Structure 1
Amino acid sequence: MRNFWTACGHQHLTRNERGWLVPSPDYWRLWLQRPEMALVPESCREEERLHKALLETPLMQVAPAKLQAFKDDDARENYELFLRFRDDVERAGSLESAYMGWIQSGNIQLPPLFIDVVVQAIVSHLLTDADDAWVWRAAELLFRRQRITLEGGRVLAGDSDTLDALQATGGLGEMGRLLIEGGAPLKAVDVKVLHPDNAERYFAQREGLGRYAFMLDLTHELHNELPHGLILSMVNARSGLKSLSIVLARWVQHFLGVAVSIEPVQKVDDPAWRWHVGLDVTATALLNDLYQGIELDAKRQQQLISLFKLRFDNPQDMRADVQGKPVYLGLAMNAQGLLKLKPQNLLLNLPLASQV
């Protein structure tokens, strides 16, 4: 496995008989070292004692009275959330079982950070045999919000938090922020689009701001219609959309146990359109309107990044009334140019013959 994304703890997980991921004690110790949980000079004595005890015995039960003794309300809440998360996963037996329980409940009681870190760890194991930088970068869309930029006819996705931090600090942290506020000129941080020339540099990045500083080209293939009805396809060999299709297909196979193929398409021209799934909130609304024949205005059309066609390798895995029909997927940015992909939509909304 590629030795990055270590902050999500994938290196402290083992596989059970189903291939799902089971935490080791070191997985929970890593959580205790996160900024939200790590001790600070202001930590009270009760917090210090509990933190030390949990590092020694990560699965120890904690009485509510121990948390009530904390002097800091934020620290108390962080521990409550961590212990709820830990206990959910341990009861479920694996990260995947816990994740399915959360999304099926429709009432997730944990902050998005917890869910995103779990998704990142699962995706890390899905890509164990992947050696393609575009596939790994596309996988970031499953757990990192993206800012979409239209530049020279290209659709580029950049990590939203990273771009915001670079803009605010010039990549120099708090010192950079102070310099910018003081009016000092800073050299612009160079954010690169992932390219064959820098693919190895992408893999060389570890944790920190540079880890998510590569943009992904999500531009569609170009199709030119020629005389006599022929169509010439100008293929982008390093398409982020194709790479995302690979990741999403593995995601479905891993959780649902069904093999699917996914390919990006420019439009849905199917009078027998029967099923669709939005990969984010905006795409769900757009596809619902398109399905009902509602015409989209130009502004909403521009929010649609791509459509995809999903097919089940075995039609018997589908519901009888839609067997053999394609499932159309949509990917879109919101009015602010942000994309937050919801990978759980593929697990909850596909027309399966039987629910897993």
Structure 2
Amino acid sequence: MSEPSPAVDWPLATAAEFGSLRAGEFRATPEDFVVEEVLGFEPEGVGEHLWLWVEKRGLTTLEAVRHLARACQVSPRAVGYSGMKDKIAVTRQWLSVQLPGQPAPDDLVERLAACGVRVLEQARHPRKLKRGVHRANRFTLRITGAAVNAQLEARWAWLCRHGVPNLFGPQRFGPGGRNLARARAVLARGWRKRDDREGMLLSAARSFLFNEQLAMRMVDGNWRRLVPGDVAMLDGTASQFAVETVDADLIERAERLDLHPTGVLWGAGESRAASEAAQYERTLAERHAALCEGLVQAGVGLSRRALRMRLDQPRLVCEEGVAQLDFHLPRGSFATAVLRELIAHPALTLSGGRQLPGEPT
């Protein structure tokens, strides 16, 4: 009988200085994982779309969308949302529903409450809420276990000072990594919309490739500093610029987290990376040729993502064996990427501690 394969995972940024992680627990209850969307603007107060600021517990965003559509007797396509929020959590976010020339049902608040969606605020707006328009997410997390000690505080301080690897969290890949296994199969035979209506499989494949590229740079020790040919991204924005030569000013700006190197989100199009930075993309294309080619054939457009994220407004309080973390992350970044640098827990690995389906043993 062969030995069981280890959990599929990527390197830790804090391991070199602090060694291996101690075991910890998180999300024992939904109240231990609180997420609040930071939209960055206010609804205008008039328009055919009703925007709802809601709180949900134990529901995915798509489940909340279906409940809202059913309550208003519209298609789920008439409901908009900006970000996908965790299920085992208490989350607050905006949803919108198109109701042209008609009021919302008189008992809408009660109907949603019966489904576990609490309406905190309502406002009208001329447009549907689109994906990815919110600015950030605010997290309040509680962790327990042997990891809650003085070293956790030291690791936290290091992450606040140097930033966190901007890995896609394991939830992007589905339970046990099954979304990635399905993505491999779908891309191998040719992606079709009917096989992946929400685009989750394409997203899983691109996320895996990005994490692989970031892991290569973590191993080489340059995930938080620029190399020649990098495409840099300004912190807190989508502004990018090509880096031909890494001078003292760029080094200093990267050290104070003003800008970050980026990695490619694979797809069709010409990469702006050159020189040393481009070698990582070439290596990625060689190691995962089927995934890369499948994404190009599926017509996904190439884009870029920062390799590092900054913890904004960070705060850590440890009392009686419980650590509470408060921080903001830019949209699209994962709190689980922060947790995996602080505690050892099977759910923070890609496969949840199991052999990843479709991967060689």
State if a TM-score over 0.5 links the two structures. no
Identify, as 1 or 2, the structure richer in helix. 1
Task: Give the TM-score normalised by structure 1.
Answer: 0.27
Q: Greater CA radius of gyration, 1 or 2?
A: 1
Task: Give the TM-score normalised by structure 2.
Answer: 0.27
Q: Relative CO higher for 1 or 2, CA cutoff 8 Å, sep ≥ 6?
A: 2
